[in-house]
Structure 1
């Protein structure tokens, strides 16, 4: 959590000591004491981004989201590739209900995190928060769409019933077979129901297609990679398998090294398109 320590000046050495003190206080849930230590470190060395992200993390634990945003933005100015800074800025923006900007920051943090450590705990944590935000966004939009569709359906049904009533009133005594009119009216109502059912399909949870899911986890892909044998897996899960089980493809059993994994950009794009259309698929156990 700290910068390099080669050829440190007296101020830098003192700032590092304060950072370590802050870390100890943080681990003991003494957040104000940690904030004081990180603030003193920042006063000595204001251009070290980790001091700002450490302090932002303390503010997060105290639900002080305004200060989380301020410190995260400062850290990003100093280090645009800071995973923690983008992550916490995203969380702070979501708290302000700035959903689109918050999601963008979480997505940036996720991309950076995957590049640094694809199977690290932080990547999973960021994904969970991103999925939660996207699901809530979909849920809100879906509720609005559902209400609008239902209102439109009721209006259309009312118009058909009124048309049927007027037609029967005008042709009363002239119809050879009034049953035909009733059947035609019922068929129109049924067709109308089918149209609105089709319109609601994208917002109706169902099974995610198999080709969009990892063969190991059976969950929708987040960061798919393809092996030389042509099988796609979730990157973090496959890397964990190669490290803990052995250097072979879990399905084909062919020898496999981490360097042979290639991002499956086609599947990744297909997953993004699917999630954009079916936001319910962001649902996770923690949602």
Structure 2
């Protein structure tokens, strides 16, 4: 019965009826709460509905059944990282994505590319959130100083209580306006409407033309992002530069370049979408 409910949910999901699919997967879970695929299927339905808190619950439930070291759990880890991003918890999302990415590489799992992109997105959001927080604290500190100066004027009798109240309200309104404007600017930037496009050439992958996330080096000495070059070598069987025969086993991690890319993305979150 539970598998029949899952099948009905899958059919509705294919039709784009995510609410109906969610309901069937919920019924399947009630019938058999030990099957992790019911939770992952409901999680993807809820991702479509942007129910991030519920997606987190489902992903964690599936991971509890699978175990985080189980390759079958990688889809659940990806859904969990996606939910945490939706909940504006980029540091947690980053930790989940990085751990799962390492497992996916070892297992040559299909989720590797999704997890790589999620890792890049968390880097951008972490940098953006920290910068926004720092600027908001500066605005709040400036407000506190202005109110303290106003209080001193009241204490010295230079202004009356009514004037103090009016000026304090004006100061708070001005600070709130600055913070709103700041958040709107960061929101616009996060959607890619404001971007710089200056990225050092040595950080850019020659296959995808994106900033590299996990660079590896070929026998000819050229570095590429792991996901792209692995796909190329598995298909072509040659070094893309020299055309000399090679295999995936010939690739070696470029740790220095990986550190440089990570540092650049940490300081320039906009570059994830470059």
- 2:273 pairs with one of 262, 281, 284: 284
Residue 216 of structure 2 aligns to a residue in which SS? strand
Partner of 1:104: 95
Residue 77 in structure 1 maps to residue 67 in structure 2: no
Post-superposition shift, 1:29?
Answer: 1.5
CA distance in 2, matches of 1:235, 1:64: 32
Residue 94 in structure 1 maps to residue 85 in structure 2: yes
| Max Rg structure | 1
Post-superposition shift, 1:93?
Answer: 2.5
TM-score (norm 2): 0.65
CA distance in 2, matches of 1:272, 1:76: 28
Structure 1 contact 89–105 (Cα < 8 Å) conserved? yes
Aligned-residue CA RMSD in angstroms? 3.3
For residues 175-219 of structure 1, give each alpha carbon's deviation from its aligned partner in whole angstroms, at most 9, with x where no partner exists: xxxxxxxxxxxxxxxxxxxxxxxxxxxxx9674333333233343
Matches within 5 A, 1:151-170: none
Structure 1 contact 208–281 (Cα < 8 Å) conserved? no
Q: Structure 1 residues 43, 282: CA separation in 2 closer, same or farther (over 3 Å shift)?
A: same
Residue 32 in structure 1 maps to residue 19 in structure 2: yes
Residue 283 of structure 1 aligns to a residue in which SS? helix
Matches within 5 A, 1:228-243: 228-243=219-234
Q: Structure 1 residues 148, 96: CA separation in 2 closer, same or farther (over 3 Å shift)?
A: closer
Post-superposition shift, 1:149?
Answer: 9.4
Structure 1 contact 86–109 (Cα < 8 Å) conserved? yes
Post-superposition shift, 1:27?
Answer: 0.7
Matches within 5 A, 1:122-161: 122-143=111-132
TM-score (norm 1): 0.63
Structure 1 contact 213–219 (Cα < 8 Å) conserved? yes
Post-superposition shift, 1:229?
Answer: 2.8
Partner of 2:30: 43
CA distance in 1, matches of 2:83, 2:128: 20
Partner of 1:261: 251
Partner of 1:67: 54
Q: Structure 1 residues 72, 238: CA separation in 2 closer, same or farther (over 3 Å shift)?
A: same
Partner of 2:154: none
Partner of 1:210: 201
Q: Structure 1 residues 43, 126: CA separation in 2 closer, same or farther (over 3 Å shift)?
A: same
Q: Structure 1 residues 32, 208: CA separation in 2 closer, same or farther (over 3 Å shift)?
A: closer
For residues 29-66 of structure 1, give each alpha carbon's deviation from its aligned partner in whole angstroms, at most 9, with x where no partner exists: 22233223323332343222221111111122122222
Post-superposition shift, 1:20?
Answer: 2.5
Q: Structure 1 residues 217, 31: CA separation in 2 closer, same or farther (over 3 Å shift)?
A: closer
Partner of 2:166: none
Residue 57 in structure 1 maps to residue 44 in structure 2: yes
Post-superposition shift, 1:21?
Answer: 2.5
CA distance in 1, matches of 2:249, 2:118: 29
For residues 230-281 of structure 1, give each alpha carbon's deviation from its aligned partner in whole angstroms, at most 9, with x where no partner exists: 322222222232344x2110112211122322333333233223333x2335
Gaps of 5+ in 2: 140-194
Structure 2 contact 90–125 (Cα < 8 Å) conserved? no
CA distance in 2, matches of 1:145, 1:34: 42
